[in-house]
Amino acid sequence: MPTEATDTDAGPPPGRPPANTAAATLSAPQLHALFDILTRYETYYEVQDFRDPDTIFAYGTPFVERKPPASTGNGNRDQQEGKDENDATGSTPTNVVYARQSRSPILHMLFNKTVMTLPPAQTLPPAFWHVRVQGIMAQLAEAELSESYDQGAMGTRKMLATAASALVESLGRGALGGYPAHPTSKQDKTLTERTYDTTNAADFARAWDDVLRAAVYDNLVDELFAYAATHPDMEGHSPAVAAAADYIIVHIAEFLHYVFVLSPNGRYLTKLVDSVQLLVPYSLVRQTLRVSNAATMINGMMKLLLAKLSVGGLTNWIGLTSTADDGMNLLQRIVSLVLSYDASNFKKAADKIEKEKTASKAQLAAIREHLARPRAYHEAVRNESLTKASSANDGYHASMVVAILESVDPSLTSSLTESQHAQLAQYYAALLSVHDRRELTNVFCRQSPDLFTQAVRDGVAAFDPIIRGIHDKIDLKEHVSDIEGFINEFIEISKGTKPASKTSKNEDRILPTIKDYVKLLRRNRHLLYKWLHRVAHDTPDIRETFRRWAIETIKMFRGPGAPKSANRDETPTASTERKSDLGDSRLEGSAGAMDPDLRALFASLPADVQTNVVSVLDEQVAYLAALDEAAAQQRQILLDKINAPSSSAEDESASSSSPSSKQAPGSGRFIARWQELLDDNVIGPGTAYGPLRHGKDVAHITAPGKTGASPSGAGNSGGPNGLIGGGSNASSSKSNLRKFDGGFLSGISSALSSRNTSPERTPTPIPASAATPGRIDVGPRPPNVLPVVDALGTQFRQLLVERTSRANGAGEGQ
């Protein structure tokens, strides 16, 4: 068991204060605010914690509790798990031990209740989880991918990690507290009888709420499976389902617009998707799918995607060698080509800095020496930069470049100029980008044994009965062509359209709006409905299998007092719903099933701490109310724009608006809460000595050297302002900096200071005239909730660990 897990999993602290009998009671809104804060920080802590190689070994089922073996220097790591277990047959080994208490309780709960209960997942061999997947996860952590603090900006991995956390925290709250059993207004009609005005924001949201409630507490899931078997259009079920489908489309469009347009990395991601799309052999896939025999087709597809032809592979197969590099298959070749192309661009950027000779050879050598040192050394240097204040100003910290030079040779900083510091910061970021891509290539494409290929084979074998059943009844070539066409259309929209003006530069494109993505999804939704209808109609056995899984899975969002099952034979009625213990409290916005636990945690605090916590909770209640009000207004603005008659001049004006203009960025909490996580990440100083920055201070930074970066005119990388958002940019944003002091870097909230940064950095700021929009305004700013996290974060985490341990106790001893 890892040391970190021992402290967390040892049980409640022996010194926990007894319940305060004179404690103030929390109202329902305060309980909801407390639940929101604690689940938010806990979820992101768990997501960030996967940067530690020990985390996956303290995760619990289905991953084993075992220390990873020492890794080699070339990225080929021998997996001891594969040597002492029956890898070929997938039989259950006798020496497997699972962690008794999970180090990631929320993620563990959701994963085991959703993914692990999928019918194909139940047929996977044990080695798939604790050899293949666990090995890959451990190697990704061991790879020590770059930190946002070091890079001086946030990128693709950080953006996706925070997005995943914002989504998972909502699912976690639903699974822990239950979805509200009762609507906020009386419903006299059944779901199929209700009508909604989808141009009205309140009605639009109410439709989604009614559909979720009917799915969780009624038999809507069952009805949708039955309806899909007889009708090709899912939205014909009822006006509520049609409105809910449109609700999903609008939110997906918002997400895509945020990632591919508003994000500084949007153009890079578009180019990345385009590069992968060009490398996928759709023609060969369609030809293989034409084979009528399912077994032959599957075998041919595996040879197309996973076959390797190399001398190393031949000698391994014969038995002359066992760990020789056996080359790459098609999937690995695609990954390798995309990553190596990016790595070469950043290597060129680093070489260019070396040739400019602004920084001395000794300084450049010190940066390279730092990168070659072990993980513990990197963490020590980063911590030195985080914690050591400048002697001239207590609020200023040494940048990573200064910390690195001082750790190698303190004399290197004696004559460090601003231009040298800027060049060294870019040089360090470029080398980190190269390192990240090489490590990702090693993990997925160059390991021996090849865990990635083995995992794909296991996955296909688990889906084999489903693939056979579908292949016998459905022409899969048509649906592959549908996917190809949709992705091509998506790429073209994300690239933007050329301006009508002939004076505009060829590369200056008009960026897409949310409305463009909504139109794309609406045009192509019938492709999904067609697929669901054919599977449900032509393969009833498969439909029934997934129907049972969906009905069982949705139960985890029910609150206490709900019926134990929901199927066509037992449907909760309005009268049974009114008996739920959850409904009355959730009508007022409490924490549902977690109310008693949260009240007990709060009651254990001393009276003075309770007073401080209540004050923060009141601020959080006001913030959530203001956020919901702002989101409702944005939702209405967005719906008005989407439903307005199309006008090329209007669309162009909306697309090319300046970063300061509002573009209805968020019609719900998700975008706003996602932006909070991005804004709160701690970033290193932009100058040799300066204040710590946060995500919102570097939101405008991108990398002109990366593929698909912003067009020319996006700034030069040589000057001080090109220093990872440094110089004037740091000072200009100082007034907008929401204070998160040293407490933010400790305890449960320390996860927000690092982890999962983008590997693609040689950043420069984007001027106002550039096409890439800047940070968007998401409405009210949240209060400082650190007093609540510091007071109750550890106890809440321990509570979840104990609940997860009890819920999965039977399975962990297998």
Retrieve residue 352's tokens.
Answer: 């260019």
Secondary structure (3-state) at 222: helix
- Mean pLDDT confidence for 404-417: 92
Q: Does 499 fall in a domain?
A: no
User: Among 434, 376, 373, 368, which residue's Cα sits nearest to residue 52?
Assistant: 376
Region 52-61: mean pLDDT is 93
The DSSP secondary-structure symbol of 494 reads H
Domain contains 312: no
Q: Is 458 part of any domain?
A: no
Q: Return the amino acid letter for 11.
A: G
pLDDT at position 376: 94
Q: Are residues 215 and 349 in the same domain?
A: no
In a domain, 5, yes or no: yes
Alpha helix ranges (H) inside 656-762: 669-680, 728-732
Are both 626 and 773 inside the same structural domain?
Answer: yes
> Are 733 and 685 within 8 A, CB to CB?
no
Lowest mean pLDDT among 531-545, 693-707, 775-789: 693-707
248 and 357 together in one domain: no
Inside any domain, residue 508 = no
Q: Tell me, what amino acid is at 730?
A: A
Residues 794 and 653 in one domain: yes
Task: Indicate if 180 and 83 belong to the same structural domain.
Answer: yes
What average pLDDT does the segment 143-148 reach? 92
Domain end marker among 445, 466, 482? 445
**Domain match, 348 and 256 both:** no
- Do 221 and 355 share a domain, yes or no? no
* Residue 320 confidence class, pLDDT cut points 50, 70, 90: low
Domain co-membership, 254 together with 385: no
Spatial CA neighbour of 620 closest among 167, 45, 44, 36: 36
> How do strand 701-702 and strand 689-690 relate by DSSP bridges?
unpaired
pLDDT of 538 higher than 50: yes
Q: What is the pLDDT of residues 725-742, one digit of tens each?
A: 333 333 333 333 233 233
pLDDT digits (tens, 9 = 90+) for 196-209: 999 999 999 999 99
Q: Among the three residues 410, 429, 445, which one is the final residue of a domain in this structure?
A: 445
Listed range (85-89, 226-230, 530-534) with the worst mean pLDDT: 85-89
* Number of independent structural domains in the chain: 2
Based on the domain organization, do 559 and 431 belong to the same domain? no
The structure's pTM equals: 0.82
Q: Are residues 435 and 569 in the same domain?
A: no
Last residue of a domain, one of 430, 445, 460: 445
| Choice between 93 and 528, residue whose per-residue pLDDT is larger | 528
pLDDT, tens digit, for every residue of 62-80? 999 875 444 444 444 444 4
Residues 255 and 390 placed together within one structural domain of the fold: no
Q: How far apart are CA 658 and CA 772, in angstroms?
A: 9
User: pLDDT, tens digit, for every residue of 568-579?
Assistant: 334 444 333 333
Over residues 348-372, mean pLDDT: 92
Joined together, the tokens standing for residue 659 give 């970063």
Co-location of 433 and 556 in the same domain: no
Q: Please give the single-letter amino acid code of residue 467.
A: I
Judge whether residue 246 has pLDDT over 60: yes
pLDDT attached to residue 323: 60
Asked if the structure places residue 531 within a domain, the reply is no
Tell me if 289 sits within 8 A of 297, measured CB to CB. yes
DSSP label of 100: S
Does residue 8 surpass a pLDDT of 50? no
Q: Give a yes or no: residue 257 inside a domain.
A: yes
**Domain of 191?**
1-264+537-814
Mean pLDDT score of the chain, rounded to an integer? 79
Up-side HSE of residue 131: CA atoms within 13 Å toward CB?
31
Q: Answer whether residue 573 is part of any domain.
A: yes
